[in-house]
Structure 1
Amino acid sequence: MKVAVIGDEESEVQVLEQIEEAVRERQDQVVVKLQFPDGKLNSLNVRNAIHSYYKAEIINYELLIIQYDGGDKQRIHRKLTMSFKNQNGAWYTESDVFYNRDPDHQNALEKIDSLQNNLDGILNVEYVGIAIPHTYNTFRLNPFPGAPSMPAIATGQNRRPQIAPYLIHWDVTYTPHYYIINWNLHLRLRCGAIIDFNIILDVLSR
């Protein structure tokens, strides 16, 4: 496997962007190795940032080994987290992004079910799951860029859609509601946070 060398950057955000760029062409590989010969992995902040978005192992503060699934899940998660912070920095948010196939899909739903059971009556948590396609075909570009965003409408079905991308939103009784993710739509959660579907599709359409 070819080893990519990452150039010198100052912030952990820039390092993450460089990692994404380096591994984007390796979407068919399960494991990606990146070499950092300049000591950036000595920074605790950088290492914490990497572990926040990637399943990674760091060896001798130089070699980064990432178990990689294409990176779309991590990119969507990070962009949604940044969006929530921009809306209200006091919110604690956690989005679960998964591929529309098992075991990834099943693991995500089991994780959410466990959280609902363990935190019920303790914390007021709103649960959202986002299913994205597991193929490498990109989503179509926005046919109407800049158009006003409209509220998304639930499918009204009691089972998940067969084709991703779609979003699952659990109501106060933990009943799931399904939304097809399409351009220029958004979902306002009970807490007031807005999920802009264009954020998700901007990643999938690259």
Structure 2
Amino acid sequence: MIDLSAYDLDNDSVLEMIHVKYNAEIIGKRMFIKYDGKLKQRIHRRLAHSAETHNPNWDVDETGTCTTRNRDTFLPDVGIWFQLVTKAQRVTPIKARCPLPNVWIGVFFNRDPDRSHALSNIDLIQRQNLGIEFVCIALPFSTANFPQNPNPGAATVQATPTANQNSRPTRAPYIIHWNANNVPVYYKMSWNNHIILRCGWALDFNLVLNVLAM
């Protein structure tokens, strides 16, 4: 996190200059530089491809810059816009006020500060934008071998939420899907399972688990 209180963040040109130089989120007077290794990036890419395959008319991006009404800028790991944003919003997303996506997918390692930053972003945005569908995927922060799929090629089935919905799972991988009332619903990520999002897309857990098992 970098303190930007010395800069004129009311100037769109300053914000665009920062955006060009850094892959960063600017929230209030603080800048959070986004760094993702190849494992996360591969997961982002596979999720985005799956969403585009589900609905080719969607505008799907990985870490596409978008803004809130109070000029905070965010980089959802995968964002789904149901309609293509304008050319200006794609070229100069801060100055042209690229809107937040209709579906926001975050991917984080199950440890702080990665986890706390991802969840605090969602908490902040939910206060202003009640219509966004949020999903977070927690990954184990480990270089140990991940178990292979015991039944590859099997059809996936709908996942069941965890029994204790009052507390977040302690061990990753798991998924958080906020329901229509913005209440988090937790799922342990098991092979050959999926969840159906409100937008209609079936999020296949194998997309993530296959990357972890590589």
TM-score band, normalised by shorter chain: 0.5 to 0.7
Aligned equivalent of 2:127: 117
TM-score (norm 1): 0.64
The answer to whether structure 1 residue 96 and structure 2 residue 106 are counterparts is yes
Q: Equivalents in 1 of 2:40, 2:106: separation in Å?
A: 9
Residues 68-93 of structure 1: per-residue CA shift (max 9 Å, x gap): 55422221111101100100123324
Change (3 A) 1:67 1:160: closer
Of Structure 1 and Structure 2, the greater helix share is in: 1
**Alignment of structure 1 residues 107-186 onto 2, 5 Å:** 107-120=117-130, 124-157=131-164, 158-186=166-194
- Taking structure 1 as reference, are residues 159 and 67 closer, same or farther at Cα in structure 2, changes over 3 Å only? closer
* Paired AA for residue 161 in structure 1: P
Match of 1:74 in 2: 41
Partner of 2:15 in structure 1?
A: none
1:55 Cα shift? 4.8
Q: Which runs of 4+ in 1 moved over 6 A?
A: none
Structure 2 equivalent of residue 191 of structure 1: 199
Query: Helix, strand or coil for the counterpart of 1:119?
Result: coil
Provide, for residues 40-79 of structure 1, a one-character-per-residue CA deviation record: whole Å limited to 9, x for no partner.
Answer: xxxxxxxxxxx9xx959xxxxxxxxx98554222211111
Unaligned runs of 5+ in 2: 1-18, 25-32, 59-80, 82-102
What 5-or-longer segments of structure 1 have no aligned partner? 1-50, 57-65
CA 1:137–1:190: 2 relative to 1, 3 Å: same
Q: Percent identity?
A: 47
Who is 1:86 aligned against?
A: 53
**RMSD between aligned residues:** 2.1
Provide, for residues 11-64 of structure 1, a one-character-per-residue CA deviation record: whole Å limited to 9, x for no partner: xxxxxxxxxxxxxxxxxxxxxxxxxxxxxxxxxxxxxxxx9xx959xxxxxxxx
